[in-house]
Amino acid sequence: MPEEKTLLMNSRARPNIVLIFTDNQQASTLGCYGNSEIHTPNLDRMAGEGMLFENAYCPNGFCSPCRASVMTGLLPSQHGVHSWIDDRNAQQWPANWHALDGLRTLPATLQSAGYKTALSGKYHLGDPTTKMAGFDYWCTMADGHVRSFYRNRITENGNNYDHEGHTVDFFTEKGISFMEQQAGADHPFFLYLPYPAPYGHWPATKETDRCRYSELYDNCPMQTIPREGLSKASVDGFLMRQQHSGGGLDYSLILRAPNDMPTLRNYYAQISMVDDGVGQIMAALDRLGISDNTLLLFTSDHGLSLGHHGFWGHGSATFPSNLHQAAHSVPLIVKHTPSVKAGTRSEAMVSNMDLYSTILDYTSLPDEQGEMPVASRTLKPLLTGQQDLPGDDVVYSEQEETRVVRTRKWAYFKRFSNAPGHTIGNELYDVENDPGEQTDLSTDPDYADIRNQLDNMLCSYFDKHVRAAADLWSGGTVLQHSERKSFWQDAWGSDWQPVYHYQQSV
């Protein structure tokens, strides 16, 4: 086809792309975001050579939905991945099942335009032993729910084997090897490098294996993490997850990890391991002479509360779910020497989901998703200094029964209210004057107009950005797994169940 031929002819003029993901990390755990106890010289350098986003957030508080959103530019209520993909049930999955089958994905779009594509790291969106469509090179681990930073089962282009060493080092090495193979070729490459660290959950952060940065934190007082008592919402979330967990995972960490110094110190050590890997990637780009022609992006799938607000974990670690700052914020740093002014910082309200449209904009490729409106927004005009963020300066997110709209001034949590037996209220925070989000203003009559305005904004946005089959609030369902199965059965009936694919076309 003429259009496809033109895309291939122009592919060499497009930048290489390296997208680095961490696993469960709020923005405030990096030196460049103001953390005085963490050792992240390479990420601090990357921020000094690119643009740092001070208000970057995730579309959901779980890893699988956020990865799906970055790969598709869609919200969970569109792509259908509302919770973590539960790989304990992998034997029951359809053969070669991948959650994003049927959707237009970032790697497949780039591959069709002449890019060589690679995944080196954690996948957690389906069968890890078979390639997701769009990837030429495939190297991942068996566990989506990271059980250890060491001793992992690996699949590399169809070959299965065990690796004893640290996964950050392993996936960094594989990523660099892929870049070396592509550096002299007549086509650009896309490297997706989703590290399975720092993670923050047991048993990984409870194991006694020491990495090369462990000693750095042996005596760290960890004063950059608050000491708070457990919240009632944390206990309620624990009880709900235990009742319906099916076994196999230790949810007690939700109650036991806050204020646990070995866990906190191990978590910081893993952040420094990630920083080391980023440094190796940057050094390899320099050594290969392709740094200036590479769009380098760093972010996390979602944040993680380390005891903030009296809970440990994701947005769904409490009931009702939350997307407080600690579980909602993510680091986002972009380096591209020809177009991004070094050392710039942006206060724009952005989502890591926006990377989908941003990358496709940098490659002059369309970001549509059939009839579904793309929720992602391109950040390229902002990165290049040409104009402000397109559209409203606002971020929307969702966590099953909780939907969130966040501006620089306000954070509003709206709860689904039609599940019999579950009385859960909305929440409103003035984040400008209450950055810790401690004082709920939702029932204060003085803020009724603000609450109603934000509620209307949120409802209008989700009226547009849903697919009926995946819209939980209108009787839709989820792909593979829900953390709130009994809740949705109370709302929609006992026959409500997760599915593996949606029958309707997209």
User: For 429-452, what is each residue's pLDDT tens digit?
Assistant: 999 999 999 999 999 999 999 999
User: For 300-348, what is each residue's pLDDT tens digit?
Assistant: 999 999 988 888 888 888 889 988 999 999 999 999 999 999 999 999 9
The answer to whether 352 and 330 are in contact (CB under 8 A) is: yes
- Looking at residue 245, its pLDDT comes to 58
- Looking at residue 505, its pLDDT comes to 42
pLDDT top residue among 89 and 399: 399
The C-alpha atoms of residue 87 and residue 452 are separated, in whole angstroms, by 40
To 5 degrees, how large is the angle CA 157–CA 138–CA 134? 115
At 12, the pLDDT band (50, 70, 90 cuts) reads: low
Which has the closest alpha carbon to 269: 316, 340, 220, 336?
220
- Looking at residue 258, its pLDDT comes to 81
- Looking at residue 254, its pLDDT comes to 75
Residue 242 has pLDDT above 90, yes or no: no
- Looking at residue 310, its pLDDT comes to 84
Q: Amino acid identity of 269? A: A
The answer to whether 248 and 88 are in contact (CB under 8 A) is: yes
pLDDT top residue among 7 and 487: 487
Indicate the domain borders of the chain. Answer: 15-392
Average pLDDT over residues 488-504: 92
- Looking at residue 257, its pLDDT comes to 76
- Looking at residue 413, its pLDDT comes to 97
How many helices (H) does the chain have, and how many strands (E)? 14, 16
- Looking at residue 248, its pLDDT comes to 56
The answer to whether 389 and 348 are in contact (CB under 8 A) is: yes
Give 404's strand partners: 397, 413
Structure tokens at 233: 């919402």
Q: According to the per-residue pLDDT averaged within each range, which of 12-21, 45-54, 477-486 is highest?
A: 45-54
The C-alpha atoms of residue 364 and residue 370 are separated, in whole angstroms, by 18
Give 156's strand partners: 139, 159
Question: 440 CB contacts (<8 Å, ≥6 apart)?
Answer: 427, 428, 429
Average pLDDT over residues 9-37: 90
At 241, the pLDDT band (50, 70, 90 cuts) reads: confident
The C-alpha atoms of residue 452 and residue 432 are separated, in whole angstroms, by 19
CB atoms within 10 A of CB 222: 18
Annotation: CATH topology of 15-392: Alkaline Phosphatase, subunit A (3.40.720)
Q: Collapse the DSSP code of 67 into the 3-class scheme (helix H, G, I; strand E, B; otherwise coil) and give the result.
A: helix
The C-alpha atoms of residue 308 and residue 214 are separated, in whole angstroms, by 23
Residue 246 has pLDDT above 60, yes or no: no
The C-alpha atoms of residue 462 and residue 397 are separated, in whole angstroms, by 10
At 473, the pLDDT band (50, 70, 90 cuts) reads: very high
Q: Amino acid identity of 99? A: A
Q: What is the DSSP string of 94-138?
A: PTT-BTTTTS--HHHHHHHTT-EEEEES---SB-TTSPPTT-SEE
User: For 125-141, what is each residue's pLDDT tens digit?
Assistant: 999 999 999 999 999 99
Residue 4 has pLDDT above 60, yes or no: no
At 506, the pLDDT band (50, 70, 90 cuts) reads: very low
The C-alpha atoms of residue 393 and residue 397 are separated, in whole angstroms, by 14
203: DSSP letter: T
Average pLDDT over residues 169-196: 97
- Looking at residue 8, its pLDDT comes to 42
- Looking at residue 5, its pLDDT comes to 40
The C-alpha atoms of residue 268 and residue 217 are separated, in whole angstroms, by 7
Residue located via tokens 């209108």:
474
What pTM, to 2 d.p., does this model score?
0.94
At 9, the pLDDT band (50, 70, 90 cuts) reads: very low
Residue 91 has pLDDT above 60, yes or no: yes
Residue 250 has pLDDT above 80, yes or no: no
- Looking at residue 6, its pLDDT comes to 42
The C-alpha atoms of residue 99 and residue 127 are separated, in whole angstroms, by 9
The answer to whether 312 and 257 are in contact (CB under 8 A) is: yes
The answer to whether 58 and 302 are in contact (CB under 8 A) is: yes
- Looking at residue 24, its pLDDT comes to 96
Q: What is the DSSP string of 280-314?
A: HHHHHHHHTT-STTEEEEEEESS--EESGGG-EES
- Looking at residue 504, its pLDDT comes to 53
At 184, the pLDDT band (50, 70, 90 cuts) reads: confident
The C-alpha atoms of residue 123 and residue 144 are separated, in whole angstroms, by 7
The answer to whether 373 and 464 are in contact (CB under 8 A) is: yes
Average pLDDT over residues 236-258: 69
Residue 419 has pLDDT above 70, yes or no: yes
Which has the closest alpha carbon to 264: 22, 31, 58, 29?
29
pLDDT top residue among 361 and 250: 361
Q: How many angstroms from the chain centroid is the CA of residue 229?
A: 27
The C-alpha atoms of residue 251 and residue 216 are separated, in whole angstroms, by 29
> 203 preceded by cis ω (within 30°)?
yes
Instruction: Say which range, 253-257, 351-355, 398-402, 459-463, has the weakest mean pLDDT.
Output: 253-257
At 387, the pLDDT band (50, 70, 90 cuts) reads: confident
The C-alpha atoms of residue 423 and residue 456 are separated, in whole angstroms, by 21
What is the percentage of the chain residues whose pLDDT exceeds 70? 95
Average pLDDT over residues 383-389: 86
CB atoms within 10 A of CB 326: 26
Residue 7 has pLDDT above 60, yes or no: no
Q: Collapse the DSSP code of 366 into the 3-class scheme (helix H, G, I; strand E, B; otherwise coil) and give the result.
A: coil
Q: List b or e across 140-177, with b for residues whose CB sees 16 or more CB atoms inside 10 angstroms.
A: bbbbbbbbbbeebebbeeeeeeebeebbbbbbbebbbe
At 2, the pLDDT band (50, 70, 90 cuts) reads: very low
What is the percentage of the chain residues whose pLDDT exceeds 90? 81
* Residue 53 backbone phi and psi in degrees, to 5: -100, 120
